[in-house]
Amino acid sequence: MDFASLSSNLLFISFITYLVATLFFGGAVRKSKDEVAYKNSKWGTIGLALTIIGFLTHVGYFITRWIASGHAPVSNMFEFTTAFAMMLVGAFILLFMIYRTPSLGLFALPIAIIIIAYASMFPRDISPLIPALQSNWLTIHVITAALGEAILAISAVAGLIYLIKNIDMTKRSRERFWIEVVMFVVTLVIGFVISSVLFSTMGYEAEMNYVDKDGRDAHIVYNNPPLFAMNEYEMVTEGVMTPLAATPPIVNAKTLTTFSWSVIFGTVIYLLLRLIFRRPLAAVVQPLTKKANSQLMDEIGYRSVLIGFPVFTLGALIFAMIWAHEAWSRFWGWDPKEVWALITWLFYAAFLHLRLTRGWEGKKSAWLAVVGFIIIMFNLIAVNLIIAGLHSYA
């Protein structure tokens, strides 16, 4: 049996199932006339059933890819990101079965869908592990860290729903400005997916030679017009766009180029949507949060951090240090990824401190949850892809 092909098909089924489930959660929000009907909506029940089916096929993808590769499928960006989406959906299912709030599904599942779409832009090839990754501690570290981040992501979903519902979109204010910044960031991710699909469909390639951070000659292929070039580069492909500038060795110019195109496409998409709706995007989606219980969203956000923080501590710090000692004979080396994992940990430690000792609830807690998720995504995207370090293999 071709387990690699089977895993791809199962992931695609999950993607479609999550998409359909989102529509049913939307139906539960729109069709329910009161809170009782909202919680017990048949639309929401169907949405949950579809989500569970999608989650099971997602787990099937994870298992079959593990069989096909011979190692846990968390060793590159495609594998880690799809695993992260799987765990996010799993965390959502658990919390939905406890609290029965369809609005959570209406916002959580699209995030999982976008993450899967984001993952699909990376190479899917199964390749042997480099020596540093051939460790059971890597599997334990990455899976636990991803699970912790997924649970923390649910707190951001609840926080986002709380903020969109409770911020007055009819008046200019700092809160309205910053929630719109969050919506703009979402369109940047969509811009990444669209730009990657467009250039991939065009079959665009631009090759260049360069000198890597160790002073060795290297070769790289761009899949979009090279806005930035690698260190001491020389173009191999003729007739392609001339890079605007070369980056220092510490920066991955190819990824910075991809990020820049995402910003360009995302900004255009955002401006077009603003032109079409003639109001902030947060105001457009606000009616979808009207039936959400603010106190319940606050509780979900807090409990998600209470559960996710210790899991993240185990995976991203303790298990990571054990693996680092096994791979590189040291527990800590101030690698960019290690530093940002520590920053993330300190942020959520501050979140709990402020919540428990200063009484930061409601909007303050919701804002912290959203900012925390932005830090997690910055760690996943920018630190992994743009800043050179020991984790650049991802």
Q: Is 314 left (phi over 0), alpha (psi -120 to 50) or beta?
A: alpha
Tokens for 133?
């990754």
Tokens for 230?
């690698």
Q: pTM of the entire structure?
A: 0.84
Measured distance CA(355)–CA(357) in Å, rounded: 6
Tokens for 171?
């008046």
| 111 within 8 A of 153, measured Cβ to Cβ | yes
Side chain identity, residue 172: R
Provide the 8-state DSSP code for 241: P
Q: Which residues pair with 220 in a beta bridge?
A: 208
Alpha carbon of 172 to those of 153, 278, 319, 362: distances in Å?
Answer: 28, 15, 46, 20
Report angle CA 77, 183, 384 to the nearest 5 degrees: 20
Comparing C-alpha atoms, which of 227, 19, 205, 259 is closest to residue 117?
A: 19
Side chain identity, residue 28: A
Measured distance CA(323)–CA(384) in Å, rounded: 18
Query: Each residue's pLDDT tens digit in the chain (394 positions)?
Result: 678 889 989 999 999 999 999 999 988 888 776 666 667 788 888 999 999 999 999 999 999 999 988 888 888 888 888 999 999 999 999 998 888 888 899 899 999 998 888 887 777 777 777 666 677 878 888 899 999 999 999 999 999 999 999 998 888 889 999 999 989 988 988 888 788 888 878 888 888 888 777 777 888 888 888 888 887 788 888 878 888 887 777 677 887 888 888 899 999 999 999 999 999 999 999 988 888 888 999 999 999 999 999 999 998 888 888 877 776 677 776 777 788 888 999 999 999 999 989 888 889 999 999 999 988 888 777 666 655 544 544 4
Q: Which residues pair with 221 in a beta bridge?
A: 207
